[in-house]
Structure 1
Amino acid sequence: MDDATRTAVLQLLGGAMSAISEECWSAGWISGTEDAIPGLCHRALESGRTQHWGRWSVTLEQARGLTFVAEQLGCWADLDDGGVRFVAHHPFPLTAEVLAAFGHHAV
């Protein structure tokens, strides 16, 4: 994938993650979205079930699509410091803090 395509796809991935944040928290990009959504997607794929987050959820279908795109890019998305564009983010391995939020303990 060339750089221009990669940048465009990263912006689409970030936009999709932002839309989930908006649905779940009424916040276009709540702090921690860059780690929470990849973790929720991982859990959804592992369990085969929708994962609740805030007042909404990440569906199995969303998890499949987002994970596929992230795998093609080799990263997930995070909002840049200026809150203007999405940048590459590598959330795994998940931190103990994120795992605890999902009811798991760090190994």
Structure 2
Amino acid sequence: MHDEIFKNISEGKRVFISFSSVTRMTTAFLNAAIGQLYGEFPQEVLRQQLAPPIDADKRQLTQLKLVVDRARAFFSDPERAKNSFRIATGMDEEADD
């Protein structure tokens, strides 16, 4: 899914995604398909060219919003996000040993 979306956005096309036959969806899938786009394109480009899903249910929209919010936060300052993760998981203490 990511590669097709990436290709169309790169070509300046507006992308419409559909979850019509999706019965199970994980944030891992959305991260791979949508979230990483925030590291590849400016937010303004994505806002203009990536249309909201046309047929998503409330749960799917909630998951998508979570992924987009996290991707925006991460890609706006990746080093800060990585440091926060290391601190939250205690991994920064292992590097001190």
Q: TM-score range by the shorter chain?
A: under 0.3
Higher relative contact order (CA 8 A, sep 6+): 2
- The structure whose residues are more often strand, as a share, is 1
Looking at CA atoms only, which structure, 1 or 2, has the larger radius of gyration? 2
Q: Which has the higher helix share?
A: 2
TM-score, length basis structure 2: 0.28
